[in-house]
Amino acid sequence: MGDSVTPEVEVLSNMIRQYFSQERSEEETIRALNHLRRVLHEVSPFAQEPVDCVLWVKADEVVANDYNPNVMSSSEKKLLKHSLEQDGFTQPVVVSEEKEHYLVVDGFHRQLL
């Protein structure tokens, strides 16, 4: 896209690339990514927008909400499952942070499958 950045930003970018090129556990990598995303969110001109800060969370920390108005037929579930297997998650499951877990706000069926 032709994004032109300052030399300082390029140095910072290279430091990040170097950090993540080193072998580390998936959990450590995710913690570092989430930390950097939070830092970027703090200084973002779009910090007031929730979509500005997408974080990785463990699937076992995500719970379905009690209220889901959408009913999905078995054929729709099969199509969704096929789509997830072929393409992966093309849209994130949106959650709200609770005390001990994350509650699904959007993506109930994607989270179930």
Residues 48 and 82 occupy one common structural domain: no
Asked whether residue 41 falls in the same domain as residue 6, the answer is yes
- What separation in angstroms does the CA of 46 have from each of 18, 95, 96? 27, 19, 19
For 81, the token pair is 């499952």
- How many helices and strands (H and E) does the chain possess? 4, 3
pLDDT 10s per residue in the chain (113 long)?
567 899 999 999 999 999 999 999 999 999 999 999 999 999 999 999 878 888 888 888 878 777 766 666 677 767 767 766 777 666 777 778 888 888 877 765 566 65
- Residues 6 or more apart whose Cβ sits within 8 Å of residue 70: 108, 109
**What are phi and psi for residue 103, nearest 5 degrees?**
-100, 130
The whole domain housing 14 covers: 1-56
For the full predicted model, state whether its pTM sits above 0.85.
no
Counting the structural domains of the chain, the total is: 2
Alpha-carbon gap, residue 37 to 35, rounded angstroms: 5
d(CA 10, CA 3): 11
End residue of a domain, out of 38, 56, 74: 56
